[in-house]
Amino acid sequence: DAKTTQPTSMDCAEGRAANLPCNHSTISGNEYVYWYRQIHSQGPQYIIHGLKNNETNEMASLIITEDRKSSTLILPHATLRDTAVYYCIVRVGWNTDKLIFGTGTRLQVFP
Amino acid sequence: GAVVSQHPSRVICKSGTSVKIECRSLDFQATTMFWYRQFPKKSLMLMATSNEGSKATYEQGVEKDKFLINHASLTLSTLTVTSAHPEDSSFYICSARGRRGDNEKLFFGSGTQLSVL
């Protein structure tokens, strides 16, 4: 199972871009990278996922390196409500649904 | 997006009693649901995979007789914590697959905070 490594915590000023890195050096060719976030005492919220190409949606952008060994989640204009724990997850197996959570990055957005 | 409803959001019970937590997919059918638990300031830990119409698959170290899972319909899975003890106090979260395909997303319930006195 591919494992992920994320910084324990990060700070970001409100209105600035938050760039959250993730290393997944043992990822397999058919494994997707998923990002979820969890606001205190709530269930995780899906943000974005990708395989090889960079992805963008209304919440964030996902940049995956060409060798797929790392990725970066970008919140273009962070707000105080983006304060949460962000999890980078590599999907276990290509035809299973299991998501194994690592320790995540605690993002604190300050005014 | 798909909605997963979890009930109750919070429960307090006495040691030795059993507690049932419900997880419902509101606008889609979920053949597979997942149950996680989370301790304070820790990450989510997968407990088991709930399969509609068949036995649940438990992760290593999770007692199946302690955490009973029933997935009797395509929209409902239940987790029963039997003979609960204070060490079972935790945040329990369910998730369900939104739709088929490689790009499927897992949607999560809002969680249940269990406190065993």
B108 contacts A101? CB cut-off 8 A: no
Map residue A80 onto helix, strand or coil.
helix
For residue B47, what are the CA distances in angstroms to A57, B16, B27, B80?
31, 21, 24, 13
pLDDT at A100: 82
| Test mutation, B106, B113, B115, chain A, max A CBs within 10 A | B106
Q: Which residue of B has its CA nearest to A48?
A: B105
What is the rounded CA–CA span in Å between residue A22 and residue A4?
6
Give A15's contacts (C-beta < 8 A, 6+ positions apart): A77, A78, A79
B10-45 CB burial, b ≥16 within 10 A, e <16: ebebeeeeebebbbbbeebebbbbbbbbbeeeeebb
Q: Which of B44, B91, B111 has the CB atom closest to A101's CB atom?
A: B44
* Nearest alpha carbon to residue B94 among B111, B81, B80: B111
Q: Above 80 in pLDDT, residue A94? A: no
Mean predicted confidence (pLDDT) in A62-81: 96
Q: Above 80 in pLDDT, residue A4? A: yes
B113 contacts A97? CB cut-off 8 A: no
* Nearest alpha carbon to residue A102 among A30, A12, A2, A28: A2
Q: Which of B32, B97, B110 has the CB atom closest to A43's CB atom?
A: B110
CA distance B16 to chain A (A): 25
* Nearest alpha carbon to residue B8 among B107, B96, B94: B94
B6 and chain A: CB distance < 8 Å anywhere? yes
pLDDT band at B102 (very low <50, low <70, confident <90, very high): very low
| Test mutation, A33, A39, A46, chain B, max B CBs within 10 A | A46
Q: Which two tokens stand for residue A55?
A: 């992805």
Q: Which two tokens stand for residue B9?
A: 């959001």
Cβ neighbourhood burial of A57 (10 Å; 0-12, 13-18, 19+): exposed
pLDDT band at B52 (very low <50, low <70, confident <90, very high): confident
Q: Above 50 in pLDDT, residue B93? A: yes
Q: Above 60 in pLDDT, residue A93? A: no
Q: Which of B46, B103, B111 has the CB atom closest to A43's CB atom?
A: B111
CA distance B103 to chain A (A): 8
